[in-house]
Chains A and B, each alone.
Chain A
């Protein structure tokens, strides 16, 4: 029931862009995105509540395609601080997180 994320890992140089995808075999009612630094708890980035919604947060934005049961997270002009593991999440009562994408930004 876990959403599947791709890629599993990505390495970027500062200033490069990245896209992280999240797909579910079940209907997505809403999609959350979280980032986790090593040894820390995940922190909330954004929620997309309905299909077609797009949101932005600094240079991090996301889209939600309800029909395709997919969401994508876009990181533009990446910074060193963007390094971490990104998780999508979804659910009503039960809440499931995706398999995670490790993102490393190097100078």
Chain B
């Protein structure tokens, strides 16, 4: 029962470095999301995807890019990391079919620090 898996779980980056966060889900969900969570700010939507090959911007997309080349994977990229991108990142997927329709399942989170 893997569900939603995020890698890496922890990472420290230097300002200006690039990195990719990988999200993988094994539930055949169409919708996938990337959120960032900062103290007092709740969960803010960065980018989302409604199916393989599609992506769209959320509330706070600047400084991030995403790709969904395969249905099960949703990648979040930081091209040039900034200290303001220090945060906890959550990937999520969403069922649109069956009895669990609309339920959102989260990965365990990725703690990113940019110094």
- Please indicate whether A and B come from the same complex rather than being unrelated chains: yes
* A residues adjacent to B (C-beta < 8 A): 1-2, 30, 32, 34, 40-44, 47, 49, 87, 89, 93-100
Known contacts A93-B56, A94-B48, A97-B35; A44/B42 CB under 8 A: no
Known contacts A1-B59, A41-B90; A94/B45 CB under 8 A: yes
Query: Distance in Å from the Cβ of A105 to the closest Cβ of chain B?
Result: 21
B74 contacts A by Cβ under 8 Å: no
Known contacts A30-B102, A93-B50; A41/B45 CB under 8 A: no
One of B19-27, B65-73, B104-112 at the interface? B104-112
Chain B residue at minimum C-beta to C-beta distance from A43: B106
Provide the B55-66 mask, 1 if CB < 8 A to any CB of A, else 0: 010110000000
B interface SS class = strand
* Contact in complex: A41, B31 (CB < 8 Å): no
Can you list 10 A-B contacts (CB < 8 A)?
A: A30-B102, A41-B107, A41-B108, A43-B106, A44-B104, A44-B105, A49-B102, A89-B104, A93-B50, A95-B94
* Contact in complex: A32, B102 (CB < 8 Å): yes
* Contact in complex: A41, B109 (CB < 8 Å): yes
Known contacts A30-B102, A89-B104; A96/B45 CB under 8 A: yes
Known contacts A32-B104, A41-B106, A47-B103; A93/B31 CB under 8 A: yes
